Amino acid sequence: MSQETFSVDGLHCRGCVGTVEHALSTIPDVHSVQVELDVNGVSRVTVDTDRHLVDTEVQQALDKEGNFHLV
């Protein structure tokens, strides 16, 4: 298992954190998602996964749940 880190914009509250955690946990081979919320900027999202995740699949998962963007 490895960890991958992404910078995500558009998170403004703990509800957004839960939404992003749920969205990314639906990607195959993802075991857990942790978000370090920055309400005034870009949040850091760490994903424990069995494989390398490409930005497009992460963004697609985010697009299904709201207005969140990889930066």
Question: 5-32 pLDDT, tens per residue?
Answer: 999 999 999 999 999 999 999 999 999 9
Which CATH number is 23's domain given? 3.30.70.100
In this prediction the pTM is 0.94
One-letter amino acid at 32 equals S
> What confidence tens digit (pLDDT) does each residue in 35-56 have?
999 999 999 999 999 999 999 9
Please state, in angstroms and rounded to a whole number, the distance separating the CA atoms of residues 39 and 4. Answer: 21
Number of domains in the chain: 1
Residue range of the domain that includes 61: 2-70
One-letter amino acid at 69 equals H
For residues 30 and 20, is the Cβ–Cβ distance under 8 A?
no
